[in-house]
Amino acid sequence: MTEPVAVTGLGLVTPAGEGADATWEAVCRGVGTAAHDPALAALPVDFSCRVPLSREALDRRVGRTAWRMSRSAVLAVLAAREAVHDAGLDPGTWNGDRVAVVIGCGMGADAAREEQARRLEEQGADMVSALTVPLIIPNMAAGEVTIDLGARGPSLAPATACASGATAVAVARDLLVTGQCDVAVTGATETAVTPLVAAGFWRAGTLSRRTDAVAGASRPFAADRDGFVLAEGAGVLVLERAGDAAARGARTRALLVGCGSTSDAHHPTAPAPDARGAERALRTALADAGLAPRDVDHVNAHGTSTPLNDAGEAALIARVLPHRPSVTAPKGVLGHSLGAAGAVEAALTVLTLQHRTVPPVANLRAPAPGFDIDCVTGEPRRQDVRVAVSHSFGFGGHNVVLALTGAS
């Protein structure tokens, strides 16, 4: 059993708005944030879940360094600032040598990449920005967060597709328990809502095609689900060793008590139909925490609203957790922010533990026939959640599960 790690701060920038409170309120309302997207108007699927802040508004919040950052880096910096403030830490006084930053990203800055490619094709090499490479490399969000916070410890940028955020949290936990840092600022960011990415997912058959009812398009675990809604966002958590957090009198929102990571070794994009790789990740996380499956009260599901993922995940939950813990799936409200999703959903799991409330799965009346799982629907459910798990699965067969408990 690994030493528990305290979650002392949260920061979120999502399609529900800026700030963890805004996102929590939105998922509890259970209303989808998807809307028609002018940038995707020429595509068969013309809707997405975007952060409702213009680039100009985001730049004003970040300040004078924003001009050199991609949108994904800007979101990461804003979420990290909120998380550090929420933790009661001051980058002006901490020992930056002992602060790690682990910010995952599944795709990199795709909008910047597509814009510079367009300039090259239409206007020639002289019009390509000299900042192109630092704008598009996927580790730059982590780099900009370290610069912004003066964090000079380990800086890492895990890329495990849609499991990147959860992978980042697990890696940050390991840095803490092995003594390589005293504070870890960790999470993920993604801004891949672009015509090329959307067209690629549409061609792969993974996007919802409900263009006539976009707010209800993402419907995890529903019988008539037909794909996910592409989204953007960032989520950041501050982690500290539980003893260190207590010693400085910090508020502990929740404890990260276990992590499990496995690979399907099955297919580049399709999940293994028996979900055995995901099952091993879940069992590994629980064993790491010294818990048994029967101890789990709540599951924050990956729940993408795709036919394959939801069928496999529902079977996994029913098989390993037959006592029917409550299940939610935030992508019904927020869409699928790819690499950022695992971090956003880890933060929401912390809030579920803290508020003793499980948000509903948006756009769901009841799980599909044969899905023997207890999805919360309609209204938030009051529940004394003591142990929760958050699932994240990604292309390439990546499976990551985080196990969390309440602070007390």
The whole-number pLDDT of residue 170 equals 98
What percentage of the chain exceeds 70 in pLDDT?
Answer: 100
Between CA 99 and CA 182 the distance in angstroms is 6
Q: What whole-number distance in Å separates Cα of residue 192 and Cα of residue 49? A: 11
Query: Phi/psi of residue 255, each to 5°?
Result: -115, 130
Burial label, 57 (beta-carbon count in 10 A; 0-12, 13-18, 19+) = exposed
The stretches of 255-393 forming alpha helices (DSSP H) are 276-289, 307-320, 331-334, 341-355
Q: What is the pLDDT of residue 3?
A: 77
Amino acid 196: pLDDT: 94
Residues 353, 37: Cα–Cα separation, whole Å: 34
Q: Say whether 162 is catalytic.
A: yes
Please tell me which residue in 105, 181, 259, 336 is annotated as part of the active site: 336
Which regions in the chain score pLDDT beneath 50?
none
Residues 28, 298, 302, 398: which is the catalytic one?
302
d(CA 129, CA 163): 31
- Estimate to the nearest angstrom the gap between the alpha carbon of 159 and the chain centroid: 12
- Among the listed residues 105, 162, 181, 375, the single catalytic one is 162
Q: What angle do CA 12, 14, 18 make, to 5 degrees?
A: 60
Predicted confidence at residue 199, as pLDDT, reads 96
DSSP characters for 315-354? Answer: HHHHHH-TT--EEE-THHHH-B-GGGHHHHHHHHHHHHHH
How far, in Å, CA of 12 to CA of 343, rounded?
9
CA-to-CA distance for 375 and 30, rounded, in angstroms?
13
Q: What is the pLDDT of residues 327-351, one digit of tens each?
A: 999 999 999 999 999 999 999 999 9
Q: pTM above the 0.75 mark? A: yes
User: Which pLDDT belongs to residue 1?
Assistant: 65
By C-alpha distance, which of 231, 153, 232 is closest to 186?
153
